[in-house]
Amino acid sequence: MVTANRGGQHGMHGFIAEIAEVGISNARRQILGQEPVLQRVNDNGPVDLMRCGVEIQQKFVAAGGRFSLGAIIEHLQKYPYYVQNGGKYQIPSDHFEVIQKLYSMPPEEAGKLLSRSDDGPSFRDWQRIDAFFKEGSMDIDSLEPSKLKYHEVQRDVYESTVAAEENSLLSTDQSLRDNAYQKSLPNLQEGTTATLAAAMVEGGTAFVLAVGAKRRKGKQLREFSQQDWLDIAGETGFSFVKGGVRGCSIYALTNFTATSAAVASSVITAAFGIAEQANKLRRGEIDELEFIENSELVSLEAAVSALSSFVGQALIPVPVLGAVVGNTVGTVMYKAVALSLSKREAELIERYLGEQRVLEEQLAVEYREIMEKLDQGLSDYFGLLERAFSLDVHVALFGSIVLAREFGVAAAEILDSEGQIHAYFLG
């Protein structure tokens, strides 16, 4: 538009204003996460812009000192039903401010306050605006301000206007990011809410399950004894506390460390499970081997749960999958509850973890050896195939003989001489 000198030297800024209005308006909405709604029509018709079905004619005219109203009068004469059909007129924001101010000013006040000089709005300006709206073709509600002032879209200024708007948008974006970051920071209130919510959910679930368990035994609610209610209260209270600890721990892990919610939940679940096994070991209900086995199962579930959240994001080499999972299990067991275990239990888990690491190293060595043998075997195999299917008949004959021997074909069945070949095909 500008390079083509569209609109001439005096009208070019009108086309600049249309493009700038669309770009700036939509950019300001998008920086706030909203959909762009303004479109440029660009067909030299009665409408310049469209916004959600509303027709907008833009007028950026300073000639005659009528704040773009003279251009609106000409447009209304050409399209008399434009406003009646819901159309809007958009003018420079500085023009709109003056019109709005003078429109709301009573005649007596205008006569006293407005200067009759060229410095600022004059009484003559007030008279023109008053006459325009008294004529009745349109009211002030059919006017709206542009995002831009008249001088901001002139040919020699618009580039600096766009640059300033770009800087403003970048500043707004940074401010929004900073505010979002501040709101996302962990705080005591959110931590308390997460703790209470988790406690209520787990405690409520335990209450329902405890009542359901006793109902399945054939008891009606009215038949519950005092001991029944004490049992239910005990289970509910324990689960309430456990849920609170779980919620608080998950909130802390996800907000203060680089831990996802899935992994945090798995670690906390493993911690509870291993702590329970530790209590059984202390009470003599299980021995050391059972403690390790049960803890391994608990941690395996936690490890699988955590790893499943990364499915599709990482490839796990199948030959060493056992070592990877085993090491993960040992790590979860050791780190999840190391502080809560006695020296005996911690030593058991630490020893288990060491064994898993040794196993991982052994399997890694074996895996590399197997892959090297496989690579060599495939190389030899492809070499045999290349010779067996060579275009050179003599090479192919010798290659097929070697290939047959490699696949275990009996020597008596291999045609390895011209005599045998003639006897087989011509005999």
Residue 159 has pLDDT above 60, yes or no: yes
Q: Cβ distance 122 to 129 under 8 Å?
A: no
**Bigger pLDDT: 171 or 379?**
171
Q: What is the mean pLDDT of residues 28-46?
A: 89
- What are phi and psi for residue 256, nearest 5 degrees? -105, -10
**pLDDT, mean of residues 235-243:** 80
The phi, psi pair for 236, rounded to 5°, reads -65, -45
Q: Give me the mean pLDDT over the 198-217 stretch.
A: 79
Query: What residue type is 361 in one-letter code?
Result: E
Per-residue pLDDT tens for 184-206? 777 778 778 877 887 787 778 77
CA angle centred on 348, ends 344 and 349, rounded to 5°: 120
The helix/strand/coil state of 104 is coil
Instruction: Report the relative pairing of strands 54-58 and 143-145 from DSSP bridges.
Output: unpaired
Instruction: Give the pLDDT confidence of 252-309 residue by residue, as tens digits.
Output: 767 776 666 666 666 767 777 777 777 788 888 888 778 777 777 777 666 655 654 4
- Nearest Cα neighbor of 24 from 153, 208, 123, 189 is 153
Q: Which of 14-23, 128-137, 149-158, 403-412 has the lowest mean pLDDT?
A: 403-412
CA angle 325–326–328, rounded 5-degree value: 60
- Mean pLDDT, the chain, rounded, equals 78
pLDDT digits (tens, 9 = 90+) for 105-118: 998 888 888 866 55
Please tell me the distance from the alpha carbon of residue 313 to that of residue 307, in angstroms, as a whole number.
10
Predicted local distance difference test score (pLDDT) of residue 52 = 92
Contact 269, 304 (CB under 8 A): no
> How distant, in Å, are the alpha carbons of 225, 333, 412, 414, 417 from that of 423?
99, 72, 13, 12, 10
Identify the pLDDT of residue 373.
86
State the Cα–Cα distance between residues 157 and 46, nearest whole angstrom.
Answer: 27
- Which tokens hold the place of 314? 């990482």
List C-alpha distances in Å: 293 to 253, 289, 331, 338: 27, 6, 15, 17
Amino acid letter for position 165: E
For residue 305, the model assigns a pLDDT of: 55
Instruction: Provide the pLDDT confidence category of residue 10 given band limits of 50, 70 and 90.
Output: very low
User: What pLDDT is stored for residue 338 in this prediction?
Assistant: 46
Collapse the DSSP code of 94 into the 3-class scheme (helix H, G, I; strand E, B; otherwise coil) and give the result.
helix
Does the pLDDT value for residue 77 go beyond 60?
Answer: yes
Question: Which comes out higher in pLDDT, residue 244 or 67?
Answer: 67
Q: Alpha carbon 41 to chain centroid distance? A: 35
Spatial distance between the Cα atoms of 349 and 331, rounded to a whole number of angstroms? 9
Residue pair 20/162 in contact (Cβ under 8 Å)? The answer is: yes
How is residue 347 written in tokens? 């030593």
